[in-house]
Structure 1
């Protein structure tokens, strides 16, 4: 995007808070007309600043109350293994995020499952799809802060 200003940042902050609000409401909050807001949003979408609009779902309401972080270590770092791992993690619905890491850990996976049996099923599915040297899991006991909003 060629020009990103404070008004764009204010629009993004509002959309991160509630992307479902009307353009009229957004314009009132920002101090712009409905059309001016719409033009700025479209420009940010075309520039790739806004990559999508989603509904945030309460995991407990859909029986996915257990969050797990899986620390993955591998013996292989070749491109074929990485492509297979990437494809496998993208196809498993319970896996929400996958990060390639520095240090002792190769990958960090964040997943949501119903319970311990759900975790075991996810784990079995993953190791069936791609060979992994070691997996350690940590289960979230309390979510203190979980946000999707970027600080702008």
Structure 2
């Protein structure tokens, strides 16, 4: 991975629909070498997939709920079952196993509180949970799918990378 790869990744994170020729021009490459670099980044799993970022208001998924879950169950089998249950709910857009007081954290998107209540009832009917605490976001101040690239260790560099 080098500075050109990092520039390509920055551009594609901003707009994954950019034509290869446009990406190539912006990073100072010809089209074929740029295409090869993108292919390599995809093959290596750096670029997992290209997606469209939707407007939550327009798809009626405007309420963000952060759901803290505590459980008395900590076995591998229970976690596997819990994960399978949570994967069934399209409302859950993020799912984390946590350290600290909370065992799991979900980010759930729904149109309104009634839809969240219905989700909650369906979830607790499927698996035993000790405690569920829900926090509703009042306003989204920042949201991005772009990962910071300044931490990439580039070829022939050591330590922290400098921004390109």
Classify the TM-score, shorter chain.
over 0.9
User: What residue is the counterpart of 1:97 in the other structure?
Assistant: 94
1:115 aligns with 2:112: yes
TM-score for the superposition, normalised by structure 2: 0.89
User: What residue is the counterpart of 2:46 in the other structure?
Assistant: 49
1:17 aligns with 2:52: no
SS in 2 for 1:71: strand
Task: Quote the offset at 1:125 in angstroms.
Answer: 1.5
TM-score for the superposition, normalised by structure 1: 0.96
Q: Deviations over 1:76-109 (max 9, x none)?
A: 1012211111001111000001000001110000
Alpha-carbon RMSD across the aligned residues, in angstroms, is 0.7
Structure 1: gaps spanning 5 or more residues: none
Task: Quote the offset at 1:128 in angstroms.
Answer: 1.4
1:39 aligns with 2:36: yes
User: What residue is the counterpart of 2:153 in the other structure?
Assistant: none
User: What residue is the counterpart of 2:57 in the other structure?
Assistant: 60
User: What residue is the counterpart of 2:147 in the other structure?
Assistant: 150
SS in 1 for 2:108: strand
Give 4+ residue runs of structure 1 displaced > 4 Å after superposition. none
SS in 1 for 2:26: helix
Count residues with an aligned counterpart. Answer: 149
